[in-house]
Structure 1
Amino acid sequence: RMWRDSKILEIGEGTSEVQRMLIARELGLPA
């Protein structure tokens, strides 16, 4: 969770959602 929080702080709130979707797609999880 720590890496995720730091990432969100670096990228920003709006992009955090996109990042989440991209990660889910890479892992092959349902978005």
Structure 2
Amino acid sequence: GHHIGTAEVESALVSPPKSAEAAVVGVEHEV
């Protein structure tokens, strides 16, 4: 598995010009 931070996901979601903001919530789970 990979560890991806919520900030990285939010940054990717708001990169398109028409995206103003995004919110991502991390949830722990067993792999």
**Normalising to structure 2: TM-score of the pair?**
0.35
- The structure showing larger relative contact order (alpha-carbon pairs under 8 Å, at least 6 residues apart) is 2
Whichever of the two has the greater Rg, that structure is 2
Structure having the higher helix fraction is 1
**Normalising to structure 1: TM-score of the pair?**
0.35
